[in-house]
Amino acid sequence: MKLRSHEWFGESGRNGFIHRSWMKAQGFSEEVFDGRPVIGICNTWSELTPCNAHLRRLAESVKRGVWQAGGFPVEFPVMSLGETMLRPTAMLFRNLLSMDVEESLRGNPVDAAVLLTGCDKTTPGSLMGAASVDLPTLVVTGGPMLNGKFRGCDIGSGTAVWQFTQDVNAGRMSEAEFAAAESGMSRSNGHCMTMGTASTMACMAEALGLQLPGSAAIPAVDSRRYGLAQRAGQRIVEMTHEDLRMSRVVSRASFANAIRANAALGGSTNAVIHLLAIAARLGVPLALDDFDAYTADVPWLVDLQPSGHYLMEDFYYAGGLPAVLRELLPLLDGDALTVTGATLEANVADAERSSDVIRPLGEPLGVGAGTAVLRGNLAPDGAVIKQSAASPHLLRHRGRALVFDSIEAYDAAVDDPALDVDADTVLVLQNAGPRGYPGMPEVGNMTIPRKLAEQGVEDVVRVSDARMSGTAYGTVVLHVCPESAVGGPLALVRTGDTVELDVPARRLHLDVPEDELARRRAEWQPPERPHDRGWARLYGDHVLQADQGCDLDFLVGQSGSAVGRQSH
Ligand code: FES
Ligand code: MG
């Protein structure tokens, strides 16, 4: 089989000279141009993405495996997205990363791709780009940090920050203790070690069949991650010979498996948006309602923060994702193909569950506790709520709305002792959607107002067009569609209106007469666009709503790997 890299390195004459000669400048010998698979190692390493800071070392292990199997590894950087650093939100740039990955793969002489990812958006962004090129593709995530430690206890990335912030507000924790917790929380390489978005997307990549079995949970600093990365390097060379492209691995059945796995994991709501976007790149039909339909009967099996108690290190020792998938097999399509070349069922046949961090199928932590999709006059195109992270007593609730038109307005009011709020209030946040913010930040889990925290209130219903961090919790309705900045009904809510949430009935209702809503709609003015040049402008002009995955409209689908033109 002639590989696409042969169009560069196998050429005679001027072009072949140019392609080979400049590569030789790096000290490669003649044999690397003999037609062997060229494996692109697409690296989201950056010191500004601390979760991915060790990925260059991991790349060395992948390269070792590629050489071993007779391939030629070439590592290249792509844009990196550091969740904790990037303003105004890393999500604004997920699609930009996807374009970088897509064009870097298509434009270069590579036959296959290994995607090195970790921090939240780096996994879906890389997968979206690779899906549009459709080469043989294998994901190697960087793995979670070791468990955080503070005062002799385990503390989870993100989750403990939200908890400690409430504790400080309620006077249960001093500022000095709060500061001391910083160094204990993040004490090794790796991504957040709660079942936040990074851990969730690592598990999604594995459940989709795109990462070697067992990869998602191995701690970043565990030597076994490096061994597995070497194995991934070997396997991608075999996949190239087998022409096992991403579209041959991933089907609708793979997405159904991943969605069900996410419910069993108590995984992040962000997976909804990312999986919708990846599926749309591949042309696999997937809709927001599938997330509810596929998960209604799925037991919640994994006792990890933010919904449960433990952390990723515990999850790994308990058997990791293969043990969960084996428990779930009766509910999965075991015939779904994976990057191993074998089916999901074959991959997990020998997996063992070695502690109650992972519950057996018959003794779950709950059933149907996954992502519920809500609809109603407040969210005609849908909204989501993570049931396992919500307070049971608030899942059916009617309350008076207190409305904020920006997160800054909310932050300015949150400590006000005179804030007109009680335990039944529904906090409503507008203009935090994909177009409005822009980039749909993780601010939907608005901090509980200090006044309520001091009274011991730990949760209130919150409704917005924002996302929330996968490490966060609470009775938080997210991703309201259409968003307020495009004139969705969320824009029409006023302080004093009654909002009704009924999760069992999947309903989100604004109890205001239709003629009054029509009057407000006629008065509504779109907010001014915060940025009108560069990427933010392109994004604002083309971003799709959350129910369609927040991709840019012109990036949906595939263009394949052919270029058809020389560069000289
Ligand atoms: Fe990078 Fe949480 S901040 S994974
Ligand atoms: Mg996040």
On whether both 380 and 410 belong to a single domain, the answer is yes
Q: Once rounded to an integer, what is the mean pLDDT over residues 74-98?
A: 97
Does the beta carbon of 191 sit less than 6 angstroms from any atom of ligand 1? yes
Rounded Cα gap, residues 545 and 552, in angstroms: 9
* 401 and 266 within one domain: no
pLDDT at 566 over 90: no
Would strands 72-77 and 38-43 be described as parallel, antiparallel, or unpaired? parallel
Q: Quick check: 148 pLDDT over 80?
A: yes
Give residue 368's pLDDT band: very low, low, confident or very high (50, 70, 90): confident
Give domain status of residue 558, yes or no: no
Q: What is the pLDDT of residues 273-290, one digit of tens each?
A: 999 999 999 999 999 999
The answer, yes or no, to whether any atom of ligand 1 lies below 6 A from the CB of 196, is yes
For the Cβ of 442 lying below 6 angstroms from any atom of ligand 1, the answer is no
Ligand 1 pocket test, candidate residues 46, 49, 51, 442, most atoms within 8 A of CB: 51
The band of 224, judged by pLDDT with boundaries at 50, 70 and 90, is very high
Cβ atoms of 483 and 435 closer than 8 Å: yes
Residue range(s) defining the domain that contains residue 25: 1-35
pLDDT at res. 360: 97
- Read off the pLDDT of each residue in 235-255 and give the average, rounded to a whole number: 98
- 99 and 174 share a domain? no
Q: How confident is the model at residue 417 (pLDDT cuts 50, 70, 90)?
A: very high
In 3D, which of 285, 289, 238, 260 has the Cα closest to residue 111? Answer: 238
Quick one: average pLDDT of 24-45? 97
Q: Does residue 98 share a domain with residue 22?
A: no
Q: Count other C-beta atoms under 10 Å from residue 456's C-beta.
A: 8
User: Is the pTM higher than 0.90?
Assistant: yes
Q: How do the residues of the chain divide into helix, strand and coil, expressed in percent and rounded to 5?
A: 40, 15, 45
Query: What confidence score (pLDDT) does residue 170 get?
Result: 86
Atom 2 (ligand 1) nearest CA? 192
Using DSSP, state whether 421 is helix, strand or coil.
coil
Check whether residue 384 and residue 480 sit in a common domain. yes
Distance from the alpha carbon of residue 311 to the mean position of ligand 1, in angstroms: 14
Say yes or no: 154 and 201 in one domain. Answer: no
Quickly state the pLDDT bin for 1 (edges 50, 70, 90): confident
Q: Among positive and negative, which fits the CA dihedral 59, 342, 68, 106? A: negative
Rounded average pLDDT over 316-332: 98
158 C-alpha to ligand 2 centroid (Å): 9
Mean pLDDT of the chain: 96
- CATH number, position 433: 3.50.30.80
Average confidence (pLDDT) over 526-544: 91
Q: How far is the C-alpha of 136 from the C-alpha of 4, rounded, in Å?
A: 12
Closest ligand to the CA of 50:
1
Within-domain flag for 221? yes
Question: Does 178 fall in a domain?
Answer: yes
Q: ipTM score of the complex?
A: 0.92
Task: Kindly tell me if the per-residue pLDDT of 48 is higher than 80.
Answer: yes
Any atom of ligand 1 within 6 Å of the Cβ of 51: yes
Nearest bound ligand to the CA of residue 195: 1
Count of domains for the chain: 4
**Do 68 and 212 share a domain, yes or no?**
yes
Q: Are 44 and 116 in contact (CB under 8 A)?
A: yes
Contacts of 425 (CB under 8 A, 6+ apart): 399, 400, 401, 402, 460, 461
Examine the domain organization and report whether 192 and 181 are in the same domain: no
**pLDDT tens figures, 425-438:** 999 999 999 999 99
Residue with tokens 């779904």: 336
Q: What percent of the chain has pLDDT over 70?
A: 100
Cβ(378)–Cβ(404) under 8 Å?
no
Using left for φ > 0, alpha for ψ between -120 and 50, and beta otherwise, residue 496 falls in left
Reported confidence tier of residue 345, pLDDT bands at 50, 70, 90? very high
Give the pLDDT of residue 530. 73
- 260 plus 230 within the same structural domain: yes
Question: Could you read off the pLDDT of 485-505 as tens digits, one per residue?
Answer: 999 999 999 999 999 999 999
Instruction: Indicate whether 72 belongs to any domain.
Output: yes
Hey, whose CA ends up nearest to atom 1 of ligand 1? 119
Give the Cα separation of 384 and 386 in Å (integer).
7
Q: Is residue 83 part of a domain?
A: yes
Identify whether 479 is part of a domain. Answer: yes
Shared domain for 438 and 455, answered yes or no, is: yes
What distance in angstroms lies between residue 228's CA and the mean position of ligand 2's atoms? 26
Condensed to tens digits (0 to 9), the pLDDT of residues 433-464 reads: 999 999 999 999 999 999 999 999 999 999 99
Q: Quick one: 491 and 427 in the same domain?
A: yes
119 touches ligand 1 (CB under 6 Å): yes
**Lowest model confidence (mean pLDDT) among 57-61, 383-387, 486-490, 528-532:** 528-532
Q: What is the pLDDT of residue 169?
A: 85
Q: Which of 71, 198, 42, 213 is nearest to 131 (CA)?
A: 42
Q: What distance in angstroms lies between residue 248's CA and the mean position of ligand 2's atoms?
A: 30
Kindly state whether residues 129 and 140 are assigned to the same domain: yes
**Residue 553 forms part of a structural domain:** no
Segment 171-207, tens digit of pLDDT: 899 999 999 999 999 999 999 999 999 999 999 999 9
Residue 238 has pLDDT above 80, yes or no: yes
- Closest ligand to the CA of 201: 1
Asked if the peptide bond before residue 504 counts as cis, ω within 30 degrees of 0, the response is: no
Mean pLDDT of 517-537: 92
33, two tokens: 């141009």
Check pLDDT > 80 for residue 65: yes
Q: Residue 520's pLDDT is what? A: 98
CB distance 74 to ligand 1 below 6 Å: no
pLDDT at 471 over 90: no
At 166, the pLDDT band (50, 70, 90 cuts) reads: confident
Give the confidence band of 470 by pLDDT, cuts at 50, 70, 90: confident
Pick the last residue of a domain from 159, 185, 211.
185
In-domain check, residue 547: no
Would you place residue 242 in the very low, low, confident or very high pLDDT band (cuts 50, 70, 90)? very high
